[in-house]
Chains A and B, each alone.
Chain A
């Protein structure tokens, strides 16, 4: 069975500092991996995804993540935090048992990012 673990339910950084949100996964098949962001009382917005190919994936708002198979990790980073980055971030892995369709997503519990001025 697939699962996702996000280390740290709360992360606080200063504006301009590096953002690092950790995600480890387990999967018996080559995974599809995703990072979503959720602002208060809103739905989830896709930041970036890894399916195949290049292991360093760039997303929106300056975020990127690197797929490391040997470490079963997909950590999310951003070089310089902005106040607007304060939100909750979810890592997810896709179950690919639907003959090509994305399948349902298995989410981590989320990490709330606070950005201090």
Chain B
């Protein structure tokens, strides 16, 4: 049973480009969470999605960031017009109702 998959593992973008981060939840999981980890910081919640629905996006910056979890395919975290401050590790977690969140290995985004 494969765990949570994230790709790419490392992503380098120049300022102003777009970054797309993908997350495939564990089989049978319909809840996906995105977290951001800045250097020397803990993980900060960004957004919680179920299939085709955003449940809670209270941690998502209001501009340039968006997330989706379509009926088919992985969840996507999209960052438009990246800036140096977006450099961080982005972690996805998945769960089924009332169960623990399983984390993926993360995508490390570097903005040059």
Q: Cβ of B91 and Cβ of A43 under 8 Å apart?
A: yes
Query: Is A61 an interface position by the 8 A CB rule?
Result: no
Q: Cβ of A109 and Cβ of B41 under 8 Å apart?
A: yes
* Residues 73-87 of B at the A interface (beta carbon under 8 Å): none
Q: Cβ of B95 and Cβ of A108 under 8 Å apart?
A: no
* Residues 93-111 of B at the A interface (beta carbon under 8 Å): 93, 95, 97-106, 108
Q: Which residues of B contact A90 (CB under 8 A)?
A: 42-43
B20 to chain A, nearest CB (A): 19
* Residues 46-88 of B at the A interface (beta carbon under 8 Å): 48, 55-56, 59
Tell me, in angstroms, the Cα distance from A9 to B59 when the chains sit together: 24
Query: Is B22 an interface position by the 8 A CB rule?
Result: no
Number of interface residues, chain B, beta carbon within 8 A: 28
> Chain A binding site: helix, strand, loop or mixed by DSSP?
strand
Closest to B50 in A: A101
Tell me, in angstroms, the Cα distance from A110 to B44 when the chains sit together: 12
With A44-B43, A107-B44, A109-B41 as known contacts, state yes or no: A100 contacts B98, CB within 8 Å: yes
* Residues 41-75 of A at the B interface (beta carbon under 8 Å): 41-46, 49
B2 to chain A, nearest CB (A): 13
Closest to B55 in A: A98
A39 to chain B, nearest CB (A): 10
Q: Cβ of B106 and Cβ of A107 under 8 Å apart?
A: no
Tell me, in angstroms, the Cα distance from A109 to B39 when the chains sit together: 10
Q: Which residues of B contact A7 (CB under 8 A)?
A: none
A78 to chain B, nearest CB (A): 20
Tell me, in angstroms, the Cα distance from A102 to B31 when the chains sit together: 10
Tell me, in angstroms, the Cα distance from A109 to B41 when the chains sit together: 5
Closest to A6 in B: B42
Tell me, in angstroms, the Cα distance from A25 to B81 when the chains sit together: 36
* Nearest 5 CB-CB pairings of A with B: A107-B42, A104-B45, A43-B103, A44-B103, A43-B105
Supply 6 A–B pairs (Cβ within 8 Å), ascending by A: A44-B93, A102-B95, A104-B45, A104-B48, A107-B43, A110-B41
